[in-house]
Chain A
């Protein structure tokens, strides 16, 4: 490992940044020495993967950051059982490319494949199959982590690790969703999902109001393997949506055994056959305002609506990784960056809560440029963000001046809605609210987000 370097790191939304002393260890021993070195300097420590947390969860102003991305090897893979042990810095992209040719797929994937496995487990991320498959933590069989004293611990599912004196004990639930605050994850053993094809069967339908979108989502959550709704949040028709449901293909499907080569999963180089993918965000830039977004959303809704409910097959990668489809799309939000507010609320009251949320953004004149509705299930684990209910993820440009102040007022209004309906906060997305920190924490670890939540201020 080269010596640690002071660097400015950013949250994925680009609105948050911090200067930290960054260590980039190559193995477990170096993770332990990085942690001990940072502690000798009197610094707190934040573990960081690809830096895809939207806000300030992977930032540590004036402290140390342990960047795990150099640790991205496969340690062990059993292609019969579908069990894989990988280093924490391996990305979901590297993982599926490794296992798909052998007939496996990660059981849970988020909207971007750049996320590392360590980050995914530390935040206990979910995918479009949360209601049926749970978050990624449910599929974790074991992890190795390094605690603040530089000690290495192996935790396996169903086994409580204890120190010799018996004063200390820890199990997997202390790690899942704990933001790395109980220790820095260095490897993860994951139970994979068997797939018979590199393709999914996808159904697209439209819904003309928020209640109809909810109904369609509920049906998808019952019947499909994956389901997600894009929600138009602009204007009078706010709440209408386009739903995507997807199913794994059965072993007797004509596409069984097809598309298992990572090459076939590659996202197309051009969008709609013409626009180079790499530069597509530039085309979005002029549309990144209230009028443009209204046009874009209306166009999106009606183009889906005109084609009616339809079914087609699509690769896993193209279905799951929407956030990677237009690289750099967040730059279309301008220099102030982007804020996502993901409102998680229990199933009872969710329809009312989200109707209120859409109403508030209209009242304050801050429409969300991208709204995504998903069905979730309850998760155990440290300070879980997830409830048996729904989430509405709303993207906004942070903006300047009066616009920024109105957005902050909207966030406070959404906070109140969340509190009233018993909702939760997801650290991987948060930049403006206050959530629950895991009760059990190792004092060596902290972050900008942790300090903010401790203070209790958004």
Chain B
């Protein structure tokens, strides 16, 4: 009778989370951009975990006007929502790519989380979470707009956490390191990279414990802490790509 809505769950970490939650007998609502793919994923998960309530919803998070009706529909099918995890994210190149990254990674998250926050405040309990990135902790050499979109998301989540604290709603910032999904393309399947399903397991445990902000896997915290405390003149020379 615990219910999770996963926005951006037809691929990568979102999909792995859908499997992980279904396996633990949560009721799962999968939201994705493409209707056939959502249908396919819902079918796969239902087959893997028979008797588990899995529903699908179609939403392009960049279409602001579509957010509320699509998620309300998901809520009717799922019955309720105790947790929402925003997993949608893109990494693209060029001017168009920059706009899209800000649209999906930041503005889409804001629209979805504001809708969910308003609902949970009325309920009086629940948790919101979104997938940020270690790339948002400090400016790197490569893909600055991706990093900026995730940094913006982190700051937004922190503000939301403070705003919703009096209402009893938790907000979690998830910061994965290298997770083997299509976003990173060819990443060797050796440490320090982790599989999406491993990342999902770690995320689920931390969300269960109600952690506000955490790295996946946890040791990224040390790396990030070092990078963040390096003085600017020094960081300039060692900034990772």
| A contact residues vs B (CB 8 Å cutoff) | 8, 15-19, 55-56, 59, 61-63, 335, 339, 398, 400-401, 404-405, 408-409, 412, 431-432, 448, 451-452, 455, 457-458
Beta-carbon contacts of B125-142 to A below 8 Å, as 1s and 0s?
100000000000000000
CA distance A192 to B52 in the complex (A): 44
- A55→B27 CA distance, assembly (Å): 15
A18 contacts B53, CB within 8 Å? no
Q: With A16-B79, A404-B25 given, is the CB distance from A412 to B123 under 8 Å?
A: no
Assuming the A-B contacts A19-B119, A401-B208, are A458 and B53 also in contact, with contact meaning beta carbons closer than 8 angstroms in the complex? yes
B22 to chain A, nearest CB (A): 11
**A448/B24 contact (C-beta < 8 A), A8-B122, A8-B123, A19-B122 known:** no
Could you tell me the distance in whole angstroms from the C-beta of A228 to the nearest C-beta in chain B? 27
Quick one: which of B76, B122, B125, B208 has the most chain A CB within 10 A?
B76
- The answer to the question of B80 belonging to the interface, with a C-beta cut-off of 8 Å to chain A, is yes
Given the known interface contacts A404-B2, A408-B25, the answer about A16 and B209 at a Cβ–Cβ threshold of 8 Å is no
**Cβ A61 vs Cβ B76 within 8 A:** yes
| Complex-state Cα separation, A452 to B24, whole angstroms | 18
Least CB distance from A2 to B in Å reads 19
A45 to chain B, nearest CB (A): 14
In the complex, what residues of B have CB within 8 A of residue A452's CB? 53, 79
User: Is B75 interfacial (CB 8 A cutoff)?
Assistant: yes
B123, A17: Cβ atoms closer than 8 Å: yes
8 Å CB interface, B193-238 against A: 205, 208-209
- A456 nearest in chain B by CB position: B51
B75 touches A405 (CB 8 A): no
Asked whether B184 is an interface residue with its Cβ less than 8 Å from the other chain, the reply is no
List CB contacts (< 8 Å) of B42-81 with chain A. Answer: 51-53, 72-73, 75-80
Q: Are B25 and A455 in contact (CB under 8 A)?
A: no
CB distance from B207 to the nearest CB of A (A): 10
Determine the distance from Cα of A338 to Cα of B122 in the docked complex, in whole angstroms.
20
Q: Does B96 contact A (CB under 8 A)?
A: no
Q: List chain B residues, Cβ under 8 A from A339.
A: 1
Q: Which 9 A-B pairs have the closest CB atoms?
A: A408-B25, A62-B76, A401-B208, A405-B24, A457-B53, A448-B79, A8-B122, A15-B1, A61-B76
Distance to closest chain A CB from B46 (angstroms): 8
Is A62 in contact with B72, judged by CB distance below 8 angstroms? yes
Q: Give the docked Cα–Cα distance between A8 and B25 (Å).
A: 24
Q: Which residue of A has the minimal Cβ distance to B204?
A: A401
Bin the interface of chain B by size.
20 to 34
* B77 to A, closest residue via Cβ: A451
B80 engages A61 (CB within 8 Å): yes
Chain A's nearest CB lies how many Å from the CB of B80?
A: 6
Tell me the nearest residue of chain B to A63, going by C-beta: B76
Contacts of A455 in B (CB 8 A): 53
In this complex, what residue of B is CB-closest to A60?
A: B76
Q: When chains A and B are docked, how far (Å) is the Cα of A56 from the Cα of B124? A: 18
* CA of A62 to CA of B25, assembled, Å: 24
Give Cα A55 to B205, complex, Å. 26
Nearest neighbor of B120 in chain A, beta-carbon distance: A8
In the complex, chain A residues whose CB is within 8 Å of the CB of B77: 451
Q: How far is the CA of A451 from the CA of B76 in the complex (A)?
A: 9
Name the B residues within 8 Å of A56 (CB-CB): 79
A400 touches B208 (CB 8 A): yes
Given contacts A8-B123, A62-B76, A408-B25, 20 further A-B contacts (CB under 8 A): A16-B80, A18-B79, A18-B80, A19-B122, A56-B79, A59-B79, A61-B76, A61-B79, A61-B80, A62-B72, A62-B73, A63-B76, A335-B125, A339-B1, A401-B205, A401-B209, A408-B24, A448-B80, A455-B53, A457-B52
- Taken together as a complex, chains A and B put the C-alpha atoms of A15 and B123 apart, in Å, by 11
Residues of A within 8 A of B125 (CB): 335
Contacts of B24 in A (CB 8 A): 404-405, 408
B24 to chain A: closest residue by CB:
A405
Q: Which of B51, B79, B208 contacts A451 (CB 8 A)?
A: B79
Which of A55, A409, A448, A457 has most B Cβ within 10 Å? A457
B52 CB contacts on chain A under 8 angstroms = 457
Residue of B nearest to A407 (CB): B25
Q: Which residues of A contact B209 (CB under 8 A)?
A: 401
With the chains together, A451 CA to B122 CA distance in Å?
A: 23
* A431 touches which of B1, B75, B122, B208 (Cβ 8 Å): B1
Complex CA–CA separation, A458 to B25 (angstroms): 9
Taken together as a complex, chains A and B put the C-alpha atoms of A448 and B77 apart, in Å, by 8
C-alpha gap A443/B171 in the complex (Å): 39
- Within 8 Å CB of B122, what residues of A? 8, 19
Chain B residue with minimal CB distance to A449? B79
A448 and B3 alpha carbons, distance in the complex (Å): 13
Q: Cα distance A188–B136 when bound, in Å?
A: 63
